[in-house]
Amino acid sequence: DNKIISSSCDAGETDVVLSMKLSSSVSCDYTVDLSTMKMENEETGEIYDITSSRKKTFIPELLHSASKDKEKEDCRLTLLNDEPALYDELCQTMLLLLFEVYRSSATPNVRYRCLHCLLRIIYHSRAESIKSIAELLPLSSTVAGMLSSQDSRLVIYGLQLSEILMKKQPVLFAVYFKREGVMHAVKKILSETSVLPGRSNVDTVSVSSTST
């Protein structure tokens, strides 16, 4: 994890997502903001300070307190599990806002943040609600545009979003992705990657605490 953070700093990245194993059966994802040197728990929203010394970042001391946070019952999750309709309404409202900001903004970091939040919301959405979300938002055409971008980070977000949607609604998005050119874009990426010399060291962005 320290090596990933150091490499991201050297590459000029603004943030990086780490998946930490807190115990043999518990793991969690954290977003590290490299500009403020703070680490946010993706599931609970808890924020921790990180001690940094040049190229070394020391985070093991946070694992003990983080494991305790993981074991706490989150009242927000309890509320959303008890009120699925409320959760779906909240997700749709947030997704509409995020899409509007993403499509109207020309600032890369703003667009990245919007996509990061969008991925998290869709990942935790119920499969049943994905259909209504697909009716409200041009998900398939957006994914196709991201995969055709020259921005490698947008391509990564596009690949992750397409994977999540296919897992949630495989029959529905198999048709949409073929129609909107997502399948073609993925095949093109694979063909271009297969002819590149060596291996690419591009870090993926995780959006869940169990996978991403």
Q: What is the per-residue pLDDT across 134-178, written as a single tens digit (0 to 9) for each?
A: 888 899 999 999 999 998 889 999 999 999 999 999 999 999 999
| Confidence band of 20 (pLDDT split at 50, 70, 90) | low
What pTM, to 2 d.p., does this model score?
A: 0.57
Place of tokens 């991403």: 212
User: Residue 204 pLDDT > 50, yes or no?
Assistant: no
Angstrom distance (rounded) from CA 203 to CA 29: 14
**Helices 84-104 and 108-123, axial angle in degrees (round to 10):** 160
172, two tokens = 């529905």
Token reading at 121 = 């919301």
Q: What is the pLDDT of residues 42-83, one digit of tens each?
A: 666 677 776 644 434 444 444 445 445 544 556 767 767 788
